[in-house]
Structure 1
């Protein structure tokens, strides 16, 4: 394994208080993106203040009720990230939020510092666009629950990606660390990983970040396992590689300083040609792992 340890946070390394993962702009050393993962026992509850950030409560396993601004949103959730699309709740900045879970579970809190205060609201699983991206061994499934063009937030962009064993995801390598109107946006990014086991043996994957120049030096080649987190402040990132026999999941949380909330990327010039081979080619037949439920 190579690279800076500040970019790869193995499971438990970013734990704080009630959170198994607690990445804030302050701890990440940047300005906007945040992620917490909260584990609640059966009957458990947790209250927190959103402060200067907007947040999406996304069940990873189990369901919960989310109370904010005098309203309660009941999230059915899911057994785990590998089996179903989930519903979710958006809560605005400057709000006190309480989560309660009769059956217990794990819940991602994806956040971003923001300016506008949007209303709290419920996001049904049936409205989540499920996209197949890439072809062949570059195939992956993207659950666009809070993509820039599918859900209204002020700064926050968040999606889930599922990559079958043996496939390459986040490929071709790409970056979003410069402001180029209409071409590239500045976005800090968090990858939170989960990996399926096989006969009790834990799964694994690999993730790469390489320097993009212009004085930036983010450089990482990490073996990632269940519960790991990777921070991408800048640089070319990808691939995320799923080991054969193990499905790789990651939650992407992105936010940045640009006025337009947009996911604009530039592919690495050495590998951009790969994207041009996709049209007309079949996706991995193992995908989709699941689709959004009908209403």
Structure 2
């Protein structure tokens, strides 16, 4: 008998969000700083029927519109960007559109699809821009059963934003990623940057699942051990996060959205001292 029900998570602080657990209006997932209990990072997922459209005001945040499934147009004031998108998150890298703060944007899709809006509260209003898929740096990280593919579409060095950092990771079935466990919950110049992080998951194949671990880096810190499935999310306000474990035979995708209060937009992490050797 196939068990399709999620495992009850070890999650005393409510940091695991099952699919539908943060739906709001047009969004099947809507995580903003108020919902997360922090100051900067946001993630929304909108699903559009064929011919559908969605308009939103950016407010005090910058956003990247990233196709997860399907293509769309993104109109920002007078500019229009055509996003070819992709069939699924496992198929390929996608193009994307950057939408600045204090603007209005409309996402429209003739064929329909599912689109992520990765956001961060920010100060500067940068210009709206198109991000071509061929310019996304892709790297293989780790080795052996900790090998994974990282798509650095909006990493701190690959694409200019004011505060937002966002990447995609594909973990092959049976592999571990986000390993060794690492953290970024303190501002230590040159060593570590304080960043709030959201993990959004999709699993390849029917009944696929994975596991996500967050453990405390200080007394009373964040702790999660959750079975994750497509559409689930995990919040990481602090703590050691990792591993992310993919079920054998089912690749795991996650979208990481990060931002924080530091003056510099940088991704600096500290590895767990008990697991720091190898497999980075």
Q: TM-score range by the shorter chain?
A: over 0.9
Distance 1:216 1:71 in 2: 47
TM-score (norm 2): 0.96
* Residue 190 (structure 2) pairs with residue 186 (structure 1): no
Kindly indicate whether the alpha-carbon contact (under 8 Å) linking 2:13 and 2:222 is maintained by their aligned counterparts in 1: no
Q: CA deviation at 1:274?
A: 2.3
The runs of at least 4 consecutive aligned structure 1 residues that moved more than 4 Å come to none
Kindly indicate whether the alpha-carbon contact (under 8 Å) linking 1:45 and 1:98 is maintained by their aligned counterparts in 2: yes
Residue in 2 aligned with 1:237? 241
The aligned runs of 1:168-187 (5 Å cut-off) are 168-187=176-195
**Superposed CA offset, 1:211-236 (max 9, x none):** 001x4421110000010000000000
Kindly indicate whether the alpha-carbon contact (under 8 Å) linking 1:3 and 1:220 is maintained by their aligned counterparts in 2: yes
Distance 2:119 2:239 in 1: 22
* Residue 153 (structure 2) pairs with residue 149 (structure 1): no
* Residue 215 (structure 2) pairs with residue 207 (structure 1): no
Where 1:3 maps in the other structure, the secondary structure is: coil
Where 2:278 maps in the other structure, the secondary structure is: helix
Residue in 1 aligned with 2:65? 57
Kindly indicate whether the alpha-carbon contact (under 8 Å) linking 1:216 and 1:235 is maintained by their aligned counterparts in 2: no
Alignment counterpart, residue 37 of structure 2, candidates 20, 24, 29: 29
**Superposed CA offset, 1:237-295 (max 9, x none):** 000000101000000000000001000000000000124xx6xxxxxxxxxxxxxxxxx
Residue in 2 aligned with 1:221? 225
Kindly indicate whether the alpha-carbon contact (under 8 Å) linking 2:13 and 2:223 is maintained by their aligned counterparts in 1: no
Q: CA deviation at 1:69?
A: 2.6
Where 1:27 maps in the other structure, the secondary structure is: helix
**Superposed CA offset, 1:121-177 (max 9, x none):** 100001000110000000000000000011000000000000000000000000000
Where 1:80 maps in the other structure, the secondary structure is: coil
Residue in 2 aligned with 1:261? 265
Residue in 2 aligned with 1:108? 116
Where 2:66 maps in the other structure, the secondary structure is: strand
Where 1:137 maps in the other structure, the secondary structure is: helix
Query: What RMSD in Å do the two structures reach over aligned CA positions?
Result: 0.9
* Residue 204 (structure 2) pairs with residue 196 (structure 1): yes
**How many residues are paired up?**
272
Gapped runs of 5+ residues in structure 1?
A: 279-295
TM-score (norm 1): 0.91
**Superposed CA offset, 1:25-69 (max 9, x none):** 011000000000000000000100000000000000000000003
Alignment counterpart, residue 51 of structure 2, candidates 43, 51, 54: 43
Alignment counterpart, residue 124 of structure 1, candidates 104, 128, 132: 132
Kindly indicate whether the alpha-carbon contact (under 8 Å) linking 1:49 and 1:96 is maintained by their aligned counterparts in 2: yes
